[in-house]
Structure 1
């Protein structure tokens, strides 16, 4: 008796999604697809949409959220516009602490009713809709407005900082807010825009700045440039008159991953060069942002020491 042949390994190209129908058209049997899932050679990103496991598990969690939106687009048969957090992710904006629900605006009553999809009944002018890689999504400016109206303040400012840093227009956002005057949560969205700063380069820098302002410190200068013996350094947040720097460790981003030895070595070199110039700094890593009392005390001690050394800053 001839032994039955082993099922083929399902091969999905790197950095690509494939639907169940595409796999079947590639001559994979249902049993082979099921076996590949059990063996963890492929992963189900969304119902009927798959990716190579070797690719999927190399992605950072926030990058996987982007690919989940792409998977939804592949699986959806409706005419959709991606909005809110989903649009922000597709634009490459920093999104922190938001759910991975898919946000869409539907034009018909018979749209997507699948799980994990938030449907918005929105009238979106065509000039506030963009097309990117086959996706229809809200423009950067409209995305900022929608997120600012929907999300808690800190989350919304993170997205707005990132959007402005990546080309959204403060004037364009203001214009949409004026057009929506009288709508729900417009005052909330205006406060988000007023708090935003396009010089912020990461979600961590934004969160740190918001905390510093909430605690009553004078507004720091962002991306302040300092010449040292080993070159020019840009401080994330600084009070130049006090020669005090708050440095957020971008290597940790959202998940608190420990920096590498090479990163730590470069940090020490920069810190030594800055100290030789008379600067004091407080280095802050991602997990410390959630321990407000201890973080505030660290910054307050450094600030008071700098005031004692250099004198009080001039009144604003």
Structure 2
């Protein structure tokens, strides 16, 4: 089920079926109903496994459902609507708002400084700022980890072709367009320039984006990304990080990655893990390089990842 098809249920609809306050509270407490915003609910089973960006987009749909005027979403909310990964969900929705518009509803942040250009795109019935502008605003307003993750995902959409093709010229064009958006901004231009410069669409997952930042913080040279290694019988293995300055390989291995690989191949995660072990053994043996894996639990800060790498004998040059 996509976000656009998750049924939203208004309190008035529940009342029409005889569900009054006590019944609604009971169903929320037992998890059958999940509040999306005041007066709007969804079934718990429909939302329990949603990613942060999907939860944000669902709240945006709920706001449109109860708004007299259709809002134009911006910042992280626009990023979520456009399917870009969101490392955090603070429960807020971000919308453009001219000075004449009154203060926002509960959980809504109105950005009057961004309303100078009301141009928008529409996706699944939701209005939001175009991709380039969305990325520029996120790069200005959010933390480095969040911003670079969004920049990477947008560049991947624009410039990456699986399994390893990357159009550097197209990536530079997108980056320049986003940079131009930041020039008229009143704040965050320097932070945006840093995030846009660090962005690289070859990162396949948010964990890879954050990993790259931690590696740079530790003092490693900028790693090679999506590195091809010749495999058996003419196959090619792609590795997340080539730590070329220290002769090592690195991979981010969030469990979501294994579930995604298993689902796409119609296999169980255990068989995928076993195949990954054979793949790693081949790469170690043929390249004679050390090989380290890590997950989200090692990315809380650079020092934590540094200790993980050190356990494999990998330290900055």
Bucket of the pairwise TM-score, normalised by the shorter protein: 0.7 to 0.9
Alignment partner, residue 274 of structure 1: 283
State the 1:247 CA deviation.
0.4
Correspondence 1:241-252 to 2 at 5 A:
243-252=247-256
Alignment partner, residue 5 of structure 1: none
Normalization by structure 2: what TM-score?
0.79
Q: Kindly report the root-mean-square deviation, in angstroms, between the aligned alpha carbons of the 2 structures.
A: 2.9
2:146 corresponds to which of 155, 165, 170: 155
Alignment partner, residue 164 of structure 2: none
1:175 corresponds to which of 174, 177, 195: 177
Correspondence 1:197-236 to 2 at 5 A:
197-229=200-232, 231-236=235-240
Equivalent residues of 1:106, 1:120 under 8 A apart: yes
1:290 corresponds to which of 297, 300, 315: 300
State the 1:291 CA deviation.
5.0
Alignment partner, residue 73 of structure 1: 64
Equivalent residues of 2:214, 2:301 under 8 A apart: no
Structure 2: which 5+ residue stretches go unaligned?
A: 160-170, 258-267
Alignment partner, residue 264 of structure 2: none
Distance 1:291 1:125 in 2: 37
State which drifts further: 223-232 or 33-42. 33-42
Equivalent residues of 1:98, 1:155 under 8 A apart: no
Normalization by structure 1: what TM-score?
0.79
Structure 1 residue 123 and structure 2 residue 115: aligned? yes
Alignment partner, residue 195 of structure 2: 192
Correspondence 1:66-145 to 2 at 5 A:
66-107=57-98, 109-111=100-102, 113-121=104-112, 122-126=114-118, 128-145=119-136
Secondary structure of the residue aligned to 1:290 is coil
Equivalent residues of 1:79, 1:107 under 8 A apart: no
State the 1:74 CA deviation.
1.8
Secondary structure of the residue aligned to 1:282 is strand
Equivalent residues of 2:36, 2:42 under 8 A apart: yes
Equivalent residues of 1:82, 1:137 under 8 A apart: yes
Correspondence 1:49-60 to 2 at 5 A:
49-60=40-51
Secondary structure of the residue aligned to 1:96 is coil
Q: CA 1:171/1:228 → structure 2, altered by over 3 Å: closer, same or farther?
A: same
State the 1:186 CA deviation.
1.3
Alignment partner, residue 262 of structure 1: 271
State which drifts further: 140-149 or 160-169. 160-169
State which drifts further: 178-187 or 97-106. 178-187
State the 1:147 CA deviation.
0.8
Distance 2:182 2:33 in 1: 45
Distance 1:144 1:14 in 2: 26
